[in-house]
Structure formats: C-alpha cells, structure tokens
Amino acid sequence: GAVVSQHPSRVICKSGTSVKIECRSLDFQATTMFWYRQFPKQSLMLMATSNEGSKATYEQGVEKDKFLINHASLTLSTLTVTSAHPEDSSFYICSARDPETRPGNTEAFFGQGTRLTVV
C-alpha cells in the first residue's frame, strides 16, 4: 500500500513557541491531505483538509490562525501549531489517499502520528 510518513513522532515544546509537523506521501502524489487530532481514548477529529497550491479547508471550530497548514508540493503538507499552549497537547495524525483519481473509492493511508506535549 501507499506510504505516508509523518515527522516528528514526538515533540516537547515550551508554551508560546511554535511547532511544525510534516506529512509526506512517499510513493504517490497527493493533492489532498487530511489533518486529524486525537484526544486520549477518543476518536479522530478532522481538523482540516490540506489542498496543494491553495488554502486549506478548516472544520468548524478549528482556528486557522492557530493551526497553520501549508501544502506546497504534491508530496508534502505541514501543520504548524503556533503559540502553543498546554491544551494543544495531543496526538496529531495526517492522512492521504492514493490514487486521487478515484475519489471516495480507496482507503486512506495514515502517518504514524505526532505526540505533541506543550509544557
């Protein structure tokens, strides 16, 4: 299956700093990637849809100025948590589908996730 790589797997940062998480599709091109947030023992919450070459689409209630998404190439999307606070501590996961030419008909592949801890 297709491979999605996410980096870093763990990061600890101080309150007020910004953290960047990368999501790469290693063996396919993804015009669309998805960013999820997962709280302990809870399901995945879709935060935003990342679109290559255009602005991301954010879900209701997600602060776009807080969670900056950039999808500058067909294989890379980044999520930057700006001015991080302890309540931003969570598990962040990205995903993409391959091939994009069959929308809805194929499974999504997920990165390994990033555990963010803000102290």
- Contact residues toward other proteins (CB under 8 A) are 1, 4, 6, 9, 32, 34, 41-44, 46, 49, 91, 93, 95, 97, 103-105, 107-113, 115
Least distance from C-beta 99 to other proteins, angstroms?
13
Name which of 63 and 107 has its Cβ closer to other proteins.
Answer: 107
CB environment 43-59: b (16+ within 10 A), e (fewer): ebeebbbbebeeebebe
Measured in Å, how far apart are the chain's first and last C-alpha atoms? 37
CB of residue 66 vs other proteins: minimum separation in angstroms? 21
| Distance, C-alpha 29 to centroid of its chain | 16
Whichever of 72 and 108 has its CB closer to other proteins, that residue is 108
Q: Which two tokens stand for residue 5?
A: 């790589």
CB of 110 to other proteins, least distance (A): 4
> Position 49: which residue type?
T
Of 61 and 103, CB closest to other proteins: 103
> Which of these, 36, 39, 34, lies nearest to 89 by C-alpha position?
39
